[in-house]
Amino acid sequence: MAYQTLLFDIDDTLLNFQAAEKQAMVGLFQELNLPLSDDTYRFYHHRNAELWRQFELGNITKTALLSKRFTDLFAYLGEPDVNGPQIEKRYRHYLSMGHEPMPHATEVLQALKPQHDLYIVTNGVAKTQQKRLAESHFDQYFNQVFISELIGAQKPEPAFFERATSQIKAFDANQALVIGDSLSSDIKGANAVGIDSVWFNPQHQANQSDVRPTYEIDQLTDLTQIVA
């Protein structure tokens, strides 16, 4: 089946978020003149991931999430009186500098762009994601960037995809494809609105959920065969 409209997630799909997160934590802790142990980083990484899952479920606002991940971290470190929003602001400064492409991302976008309409669908913070796309020069490949805080709904809510696709001229769900690394966000959201999906799973994680992607790949180069 030929797919014309391709809706890409950013983090850990096109840009290496794990590398950006680690880089940002290193920069933040150096600024604070604090040691960043493996245990501290692990706690933050897992707590942050859990809070984003809660955000996807609609159980926490993005503003609360961004502050709470650091108040929780510093409470764990025995420093409960830190200014969460201020720490978040400095962390985001460092995070916005992280724009390392995932393997083959550039060549795949270059190959797809001439014959397909490419869009971004992301839950990330707008200013940060826009900066990362610009500095990676990936912004040139996309017709439009749809970000949850600007759309007014987040993945996997059907409203996110409905509002995004309503802005795409002559959108046809039968010729559209969502590409992302998150079953709970990208794939679940695509399923909810009847759009085919590609689960990008380079680490070969087991799918222990009831969410089923249309396709599963472990390298982005496999996309070119799917969309043809």
Longest dimension (CA), the chain: 56
Beta bridge partners of residue 119, listed in sequence order: 7, 144
Angle between helices 84-95 and 62-76 (to 10 degrees): 100
| C-alpha to C-alpha distance for 15 and 27, rounded to whole angstroms | 19
Coil, strand or helix: which one is 154?
coil
Of residues 215, 141, 154, the one with CA closest to residue 180: 215
Quick one: which of 207, 57, 179 has its CA closest to 122?
179
Which of 208, 213, 172, 228 has the alpha carbon at shortest distance from 9?
Answer: 213
State the catalytic residue, choosing from 9, 11, 72, 196.
9
Residue 210 annotated as catalytic: no
Catalytic residues: 9
